[in-house]
Amino acid sequence: MMKDKKYLLIPGPTPVPPRVIEAMSRPIIGHRSAEFQTLMERVTGKLKKVFQTENHVLIMGSSGTGGLETAVANLVNAGDKVLALSCGKFGERFAELARIYGAEVDFVDFGWGYDIDLRVVEKKLAADPNIKVVFATQNETSTGVQNDIEGLGKIVAQHQAVLVVDAVSGLAAIDLKTDEWHVDVVVSGSQKALMLPPGLAFISVSDKAWEKIEKNTSPKYYFDLLKARKSIAKWNTAYTTPVSMVYGLEAALDMILEEGLENVFARHKLLAKATRAAIQGLGLELLAPDECASMAVTAVQSPMVVDADTLRKVLLRDYGVTFAGGQDIMKGKIFRIAHMGYADKFDVITAIAALEMALGKVGYKAELGAGVREAQMVFVGGEHA
């Protein structure tokens, strides 16, 4: 085999399209120049379309976690009551951040592999009118679960609390109507469905959230959203912008908008459906049930004959295919196949074909072609739908 031929199927960083790489190779311009201001104005307008919002959308040189910390640092004062909703590793991260900033955290763990129960949220908010912020994750990549953000938004909108959603891995893969669904703060990152390398975070902020931000007294410097808002009024950022990444961002946004948001969501849904059908065709068990399964990543329970990390090593060593492993309590128990961003039908076919061969090498009896056939059937049905 060609040893340098690799297939990256993890939920970030994801493969970067040649069109984006080409855009990022343009000569650097001054980040305080008029030319850059024009670029920022153009890119911000396109970003708002993907966020489906008329609110401010701010661009930061940061990882997705930096974006999450920005939301917490600007909304949480020491002693504030917050509600953190978790169904995996990244829901836990919001709670950890809120505690660091001195919040009184009501942490609700719905369990790994399950989604948020909206009835619990409704009861929590009704019982405590002093809750200032509700934190939730749109797409929990650690478990392959996606949450009902529309339903959550309806509940929180009736309360004085603001809703903050981690859409780092969900934006541009799963529908998120920021304004229509009453989501006050949405955080996303560059290296997932937005098809860029790591390095940018994005955050949209509603008027309701700005009111709380303007009264916030938590210490911050680089992550100060008031500074960011002041800078974006001049189509700039408060600190040095990763210029090449912004070039790439525009190229990625153009690809998404040319395909059309609804078509992008439909593509991700089809890839997820095919992946799940293929896994079941191989007799393997999925972690998340169908009703809350992610359209961006599929979590699979490893067969009893081998732990997931051993299987992943075989996939990489023999076939150049990289799946993600389980995190925390799921380490060694699951593997995760991403199908987000710059992904199509043959990424899924490749993933499943390699998985079939690797399973045989670790002692799990799987019929070669059984999973691929199930995925193909879904794709053929999708073409004829």
Q: Are 294 and 337 in contact, with CB atoms under 8 Å apart?
A: no
Residues paired with residue 324 on neighbouring β-strands, in sequence order: 336
**Tens digit of each residue's pLDDT (9 = 90 or more) over 102-132:** 999 999 999 999 999 999 999 999 999 999 9
Q: Are 15 and 327 in contact, with CB atoms under 8 Å apart?
A: no
Say if residue 182's pLDDT is above 60: yes
Please tell me whether 336 is known to bind a ligand.
Answer: yes
User: What average pLDDT does the segment 200-205 reach?
Assistant: 98
Percentage of residues in the chain having pLDDT higher than 90: 96
Phi, psi of 235 (to 5 degrees): 55, 55
This prediction's pTM:
0.96
Using CA atoms, how far apart are residues 302 and 182, in angstroms rounded to an integer? Answer: 38
Say if residue 384's pLDDT is above 90: no
Say if residue 154's pLDDT is above 80: yes
Say if residue 304's pLDDT is above 90: no
**Nearest-5° Cα angle at 18, 17 to 24:** 95
Domain range list for the chain: 7-13+260-384, 18-258
Q: pLDDT at position 305, please? A: 84
Q: pLDDT at position 2, please? A: 62
CATH topology (fold) of 7-13+260-384: Aspartate Aminotransferase, domain 1 (3.90.1150)
Task: Report which secondary-structure segment, H or E, holds 165.
Answer: strand 162-166
Q: pLDDT at position 263, please? A: 98
Q: pLDDT at position 188, please? A: 98
Contacts of 255 (CB under 8 A, 6+ apart): 17, 19, 20, 195
Query: What CATH code would you report for 18-258?
Result: 3.40.640.10
Residue 4 banded pLDDT, cuts 50, 70, 90: confident
Percentage of residues in the chain having pLDDT higher than 70: 98
Q: pLDDT at position 128, please? A: 97
Class of residue 384 by CB neighbours under 10 A (exposed 0-12, middle 13-18, buried 19+):
exposed
Own/partner contacts of 219-224, CB < 8 Å, gap of 24 or more, are 220/73, 220/74, 223/60, 223/62, 223/66, 223/69, 223/70, 223/73, 223/74, 224/73, 224/74
Residues paired with residue 179 on neighbouring β-strands, in sequence order: none
Residue 3 banded pLDDT, cuts 50, 70, 90: low
Place of tokens 């009551």: 81
User: What average pLDDT does the segment 66-95 reach?
Assistant: 97
Please, what is the average pLDDT of the chain? Answer: 96
Q: First-to-last CA distance in the chain?
A: 37
Residues paired with residue 57 on neighbouring β-strands, in sequence order: 204
**Tens digit of each residue's pLDDT (9 = 90 or more) over 238-284:** 999 999 999 999 999 999 999 999 999 999 999 999 999 999 999 99
Q: Which amino acid is at 157?
A: A
